[in-house]
Chains A and B, each alone.
Chain A
Amino acid sequence: MGYTIAEKILLAHTGKQDIRPGEFIEAKVDLALGNDITAPFAIEEFKKSGFKKVFARNKIVLVPDHFAPAKDLRSANQCKILSNFAAEQKIKNYFEIGCMGIEHALLPELGLVGPGDLVIGADSHTCTYGALGAYSTGVGSTDLARAFIDGKCWLKVPGSVKFIYQGKLKKWVSGKDLILYTIGQIGVAGALYKVMEFCGPVIRKLSMDGRFSMSNMAIEAGARAGLIEPDAITEEYISKFKRKFKFYKSDSSAEYEKIYAWDVTELEPQVACPHLPSNVKPVSALKDVKLNQVVIGSCTNGRISDLRVSAKILKGKKIKPGLKLIVIPATQKIYLEAVQEGLAEIFIKAGGIFSTPTCGPCLGGHMGILTEGEVALATTNRNFIGRMGSVKSFVYLSNPAVAASSAVTGRITHPEEL
C-alpha cells in the first residue's frame, strides 16, 4: 500500500521506516511560526521551562500581524514581547512593520516555506502552505514553545480525503469559490482531523494565488492540512528562491478515506452566509442582501492578483454612497506593487480606503469593526458570531471580484451584473 503526499512528508520528518494514519509521531519541523497573539504565550512558557536557547534561530519565524501596527497599548506590549525575544535569541526571521506582512502571505513570498517542508504555526491558517506541497498545520502556543526548545512536534498522522475538481471554471470563479463550495458540501467538520488533498484538472490550471486561498480554508472544514501536489506552476513560483525543495506526489496505491469528485463547470461564485463558513449559497441567490461594509484582504485573499481583479472592477467607478470599502494588501511587497500599478489610486478614487498590511478586521481586531446591525461582505475566511465586531453584526464571505462588485452596488452582486 502506497503513501499519500501528506504521509510521505510526515514520514521524511521522522526517523521511522513506515507510518500509518492514527499513529502518533514525534516529527522534526523545518519551521515554527508564531504571531503577536500566540507567540507571547509561547515565549512565557519557554521562559518558565528553564530552557535558555532556541533550538535553531533560523527555523523560527515571528510575525506581529494580527493587532499590528499596534492598535492599543496592550497590543503594543504583546508586539514588544516578540521583538525582545527575537533580539535576545537572535531570531533572524522577525518581521517588524515596514517589512511585515500577514504571515501566511509573507512566508511563501519570501521562500521561507516550500514543497516538502514540514511547518507548524501557532495560527490555524498555517495550512495555507499546503498549496505549495508542504505539510503545514496549525498548533497551539505550548506546541510552539516546545518547538522553540527541540524543534519537534507531536502529531497524530491524519487520514486523507481526496477532492477531484473536473471541468473548466467560468469567468469570475476562483480558488475561493472552489473551497467555499467544498466546505458548503461537506460542512465545518466535514474533514475533521483529516488531510484534504485537492486535485483534478481544475486544480492543475489554478494559479498559485488561487491555490493559497483553497489550502488556507482547509481548517474551516476541520482539516489538519490542505495539500496540492506541486507541479510546473509551483516550480515557477519557487524558482526565484535559492534553497532546495522536495517535490512529493501521492502514490497511485495510496489510500483515501473518501473521494469526492465534482464537475465545477457550472459553478457560479459562492458566498458563505452568517454565521458559518459552511452556510454557502451561490451569489445569485443573495442579491437582496444590503451591505454596510466591504473588506478586501486577509491571508485568504489579500494577494496581488486579488487586488488586481478588484481594481479592474472598480476602475472608473464609485462605490455606493455610505458604504465603507476597506482594502488591505497582505504584505509590504503587495502594498508597493499595488501603488506602482495604480491599483491603490483606483481604490481611493472609488471612495475606498487603502491600508498598510494587517489581519485587522478579519478577526475583529481593528481597521473596520462592525457595530450592531451592520452587514459586511469580506474576502476573509470566517464569519462566526461577533467575528468582525458586534455579536449582532453579520459577515458574508466571497471572492474579491464579488466583493468589489458589491461595493459598487451596495448589495451582494455577481460581477457580470456590472
Chain B
Amino acid sequence: MIIKGKVHKFGDDINTDDIIAAKYLISTDPQELGAHCMESIAPDFVKQVSPGDIIVAGNNFGCGSSREHAPVAIKGSGISAVIAKSFAAIFFRNAINIGLPFLESPDAEKINAGDLVEIDLASGIIKNLTQNIAYKTPGFPEFLQDLVEKGGLMNYLKEKENKNV
C-alpha cells in the first residue's frame, strides 16, 4: 500500500486528550470525532488537512488514555497515516486494530511541516519527495503485518473463525 500526502508536524508526547478531548467522547462517529481532532493544541489543524495528508510527530505519540476515539478521530479528519519516532503502547495497538497506517521512524524529526512524503507500508520506506531523500524503517513484525493486511483485528478474527468451521 502506497500513501502520499502533505505533512502536518507535531512534537513529543502528543497525548490522547490533545488528539480528541474527553468532552467529545459521547460519539463513536469518525466524522464527528474527526472534526475536533487536535483542537486543544492546534485549533486550525482540521481546516488545514487535505484528505490523504500525513501526521509526523516525535516520541511517545498517543500517550495517555486508551480511547480508540483517538486513532478514529485522526482517520476521520482526513489523515491517511502517522509517522512518529515512537508510539505509546495502547495507541499502537488501537491503530493496528482499526487499520490506521503508521510507521515508526527515527528520521521523523528530519521531515518538515509541508513536505510531501510517500510511504510504502510493505517495504517500510518513507520517501520525502520535497527533500528528495528516503528513510528506511524496520516495518512491522510478521504477526502485526498479518493483522494490518487483513484490515484490522475483527477481520482477522472472522477469518480465523471461518477456517475453524
Binding site for B on A (CB under 8 A): 24, 37-38, 40-41, 44-45, 48-50, 66-67, 72, 74-75, 77-78, 121-124, 126, 138-143, 145-146, 149-150, 154, 188-189, 192-193, 219, 222, 224, 276, 363-365, 382, 384-387, 391
The minimal Cβ–Cβ distance linking A338 to chain B, given in whole angstroms, is 26
B132 at the interface (CB under 8 A from A): no
B21 at the interface (CB under 8 A from A): yes
Smallest CB-CB separation from B28: which chain A residue?
Answer: A41
Inter-chain contact B68/A41, CB cutoff 8 Å = yes
Q: Bound state CA distance, A343 and B26, in angstroms?
A: 34
List of A residues within 8 angstroms of B23 by Cβ: 364-365
Inter-chain contact B40/A391, CB cutoff 8 Å = yes
B60 at the interface (CB under 8 A from A): yes
List of B residues within 8 angstroms of A222 by Cβ: 60, 63, 88-89
Inter-chain contact B26/A138, CB cutoff 8 Å = no
Which of B17, B25, B152 is A385 in contact with, Cβ under 8 Å? B17
Binds A, one of B45-53, B91-99, B106-114, B115-123: B91-99
Q: Bound state CA distance, A50 and B15, in angstroms?
A: 33
Which of A37, A38, A189, A385 is B86 in contact with, Cβ under 8 Å? A189
List of B residues within 8 angstroms of A66 by Cβ: 22, 25
B131 at the interface (CB under 8 A from A): no
Q: Bound state CA distance, A67 and B59, in angstroms?
A: 31
Q: A38-B66, A192-B89, A391-B40 are in contact. Are A146 and B153 (CB under 8 A)?
A: yes
List of A residues within 8 angstroms of B22 by Cβ: 37, 66, 363-365, 387
The total of chain B residues at the interface (CB under 8 A) is 40
Inter-chain contact B67/A146, CB cutoff 8 Å = no
Inter-chain contact A124/B66, CB cutoff 8 Å = yes
Inter-chain contact A143/B86, CB cutoff 8 Å = no
List of A residues within 8 angstroms of B88 by Cβ: 189, 192, 222
Q: Bound state CA distance, A138 and B94, in angstroms?
A: 11
Q: Bound state CA distance, A44 and B152, in angstroms?
A: 15
Q: Bound state CA distance, A75 and B63, in angstroms?
A: 24
The minimal Cβ–Cβ distance linking A79 to chain B, given in whole angstroms, is 11
Inter-chain contact B93/A385, CB cutoff 8 Å = no
Excluding A74-B26, A145-B154, A363-B17, 10 further A-B contacts by CB distance (< 8 Å) are: A41-B28, A67-B25, A122-B66, A140-B97, A143-B97, A188-B60, A189-B13, A222-B89, A365-B23, A391-B41
Q: Which of B40, B63, B67, B141 has the most CB of A within 10 A?
A: B63
The minimal Cβ–Cβ distance linking A135 to chain B, given in whole angstroms, is 14
The minimal Cβ–Cβ distance linking B26 to chain A, given in whole angstroms, is 4
A-B contact pairs, 16 of them (CB 8 A): A38-B67, A72-B26, A78-B26, A121-B66, A140-B94, A142-B154, A143-B153, A154-B147, A154-B153, A219-B64, A222-B89, A365-B22, A382-B15, A382-B64, A384-B15, A385-B41
The minimal Cβ–Cβ distance linking A125 to chain B, given in whole angstroms, is 8
The minimal Cβ–Cβ distance linking A40 to chain B, given in whole angstroms, is 6
Which of A45, A124, A385 is B65 in contact with, Cβ under 8 Å? A124
Q: A150-B157, A365-B22, A385-B18 are in contact. Are A143 and B93 (CB under 8 A)?
A: yes
Q: Bound state CA distance, A50 and B162, in angstroms?
A: 12
Q: Bound state CA distance, A222 and B60, in angstroms?
A: 8
Q: A143-B153, A189-B60, A224-B89 are in contact. Are A38 and B68 (CB under 8 A)?
A: yes
The minimal Cβ–Cβ distance linking B19 to chain A, given in whole angstroms, is 11
B158 at the interface (CB under 8 A from A): yes
Which of A142, A219, A364, A384 is B97 in contact with, Cβ under 8 Å? A142
The minimal Cβ–Cβ distance linking A397 to chain B, given in whole angstroms, is 14
Beta-carbon contacts under 8 Å, B114-159 to A:
141, 143-144, 147, 152-154, 157-158
